[in-house]
Structures are given as structure tokens and as C-alpha cells.
């Protein structure tokens, strides 16, 4: 998995489907696709320097991913209130075909993702 882009409320990650990610039907196991989407979601919802965690995630698998496919998950903020956010994450293959649509709900905690530097 690698980070492609991170900006305010947006993140894009990629991974290549390896043979050990395939299930008994020789397609990518949904858990790996979900992990990619969840990771993009995590980066997107933590761009505001507020410690934020997932409160929920729903996944709709639309098409299979195969060995050797390069999957890209792009997470985008849809809505943000004081402590909760909603993010849509699209997972596509290298041909731009939708593999999964994911919606994540975030919850902000107390604290910062980037701590200030300590002074001696």
C-alpha cells in the first residue's frame, strides 16, 4: 500500500493485488479491499490535525479485483460537523472500473495528530 495524495479532507492510496490476497475463487478478498479503503479514509479524516477515528464503515462490493490489479482508493469528505464527519471512498482498478463504494463515519477525539515540538 502506498500514499498517492493527501490534502484537506481527501486522500488517495494504492495497492497491487498480490497472489496471497486472493480468496478461493481467485479474486481479491474483500478484507484487503476494505483495508485499502479504510486506510484512505483514516488519512482523509485526520488532515485537520484533530485526532479522529472511524465510527462506522459500510462497504458495497461492485466488481471483483484480480491478481495483479492496481487498486486506488480515493476518500473525500462529504460532511463535517464539530465532532463527526462523513466520507465517501471509491475503490477503482487500473482501468478506472469501480470495485467498491465505501462510506465512512468519523468521530473526533480530544488531541492532535501532529504534536507540537517539545522545547528543552
Q: Residue 23 is placed in which grid cell?
A: 480468496
Domains along the chain with CATH numbers: 2-108 (3.10.129.10)
- Rg, Å, the chain Cα set: 15
Question: Which residues is 91 bridged to in the sheet?
Answer: 73, 100
d(CA 116, CA 118): 6
Distance of alpha carbon 68 from alpha carbon 54, whole angstroms: 29
Give pTM, 2 decimals.
0.91
Which pLDDT score is estimated for 115?
Answer: 62
pLDDT reported for residue 110:
86
Is residue 114 over pLDDT 90? no
| 11-61 pLDDT per residue, tens | 999 999 999 999 999 999 999 999 999 999 999 999 888 889 999 999 999
**Could you identify the residue written with the cell 507540537?**
116
C-alpha grid cell for residue 110? Answer: 480530544
pLDDT digits (tens, 9 = 90+) for 88-101: 999 999 999 999 99
Query: Which of 36, 44, 29 minimizes the C-alpha distance to 105?
Result: 44
Amino acid at each position: 500500500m502506498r500514499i498517492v495524495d493527501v490534502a484537506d479532507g481527501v486522500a488517495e492510496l494504492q495497492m497491487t493485488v498480490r497472489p496471497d490476497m486472493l480468496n478461493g475463487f481467485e479474486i481479491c478478498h474483500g478484507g484487503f479491499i476494505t483495508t485499502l479503503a479504510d486506510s484512505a479514509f483514516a488519512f482523509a479524516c485526520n488532515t485537520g490535525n484533530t485526532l479522529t477515528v472511524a465510527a462506522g464503515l459500510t462497504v458495497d462490493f461492485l466488481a471483483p479485483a484480480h491478481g495483479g490489479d492496481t487498486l486506488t482508493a480515493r476518500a473525500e469528505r462529504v460532511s463535517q460537523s464539530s465532532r463527526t464527519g462523513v466520507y465517501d471512498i471509491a475503490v477503482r482498478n487500473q482501468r478506472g472500473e469501480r470495485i467498491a463504494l465505501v462510506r465512512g463515519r468519523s468521530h473526533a477525539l480530544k488531541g492532535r495528530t501532529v504534536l507540537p515540538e517539545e522545547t528543552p
